[in-house]
Amino acid sequence: MKRAVYPGSFDPLTYGHLDIIRRAAGIFDELTVAVLNNNAKSPLFSVEERVKMIEEMTKDIANVEVDSFSGLLVDYAASHDIHVSVRGLRAVTDFEYELQVAQTNRLLSRGELDTFFLTTSLEYAYLSSSVVKEIAEFHGNLDRCVPEYVEQRLYEKVLVSKRVVRSDQQ
């Protein structure tokens, strides 16, 4: 049984992430999408919200499960008997950072955790969660960036945060 973990912030999940999830799920027997619980990054969505969104969007893929983790990925992987981490590469600019993380994970795990890179499909090469949040902030069109379910959750968040700011200013 070949298991893999796809770790990330997923704040929020984009079509680029979904593309990697679907393709990795076709390669491995079991794929765990693991959402990093890192308060230092002050995410827009809570871990629970991100897990729920990914669960909703992957419920048709039988061998995908969604989880969250804190701390080091190597510790999460070891405790779940997982030896492959999946990451997407959009462009050569991703590579330097991803190579460093992959090498660090091999070192920390004493060779027990390898990284499997998938190149992002070209139509999603421009996409990132940060860009998606910026588009949502200015009410731009997100049709080609995120599924409608994620778009709805984004606009709920953006509208709520605008309301909070407005009531703070009164």
DSSP 10: -
- Tell me how far apart the alpha carbons of residues 163 and 170 are, in angstroms, rounded to a whole number: 11
Site map (CB under 6 A) of ligand PNS, residues 132-151, x = contact: --------------------
In terms of CB distance, is 39 or 169 closer to ligand PNS?
39
Residue 24 binds ligand PNS, judged by CB under 6 A: no
- Report if residue 104 touches ligand PNS, rule: CB under 6 A: yes
Q: Is 78 in the site for ligand PNS (CB under 6 A)?
A: no
- Active-site residue, selected from the candidate residues 9, 85, 109, 129: 129
Enumerate residues 6+ apart whose C-beta is below 8 A from 146: 12, 13, 14, 15, 132, 154
Pick the catalytic residue: 2, 41, 162, 163?
A: 41
Q: Which residues within the stretch 47-76 sit at the binding site for ligand PNS (CB under 6 A)? A: 72-73
Q: Which residue has the tokens 């069109």?
A: 141
b/e string for 86-104 if b means 16 or more Cβ within 10 A?
Answer: bbbbbeeebeeebeeebee
90 is catalytic: yes
Contact set with ligand PNS (CB under 6 A)? 7-9, 36, 72-73, 101, 104-105
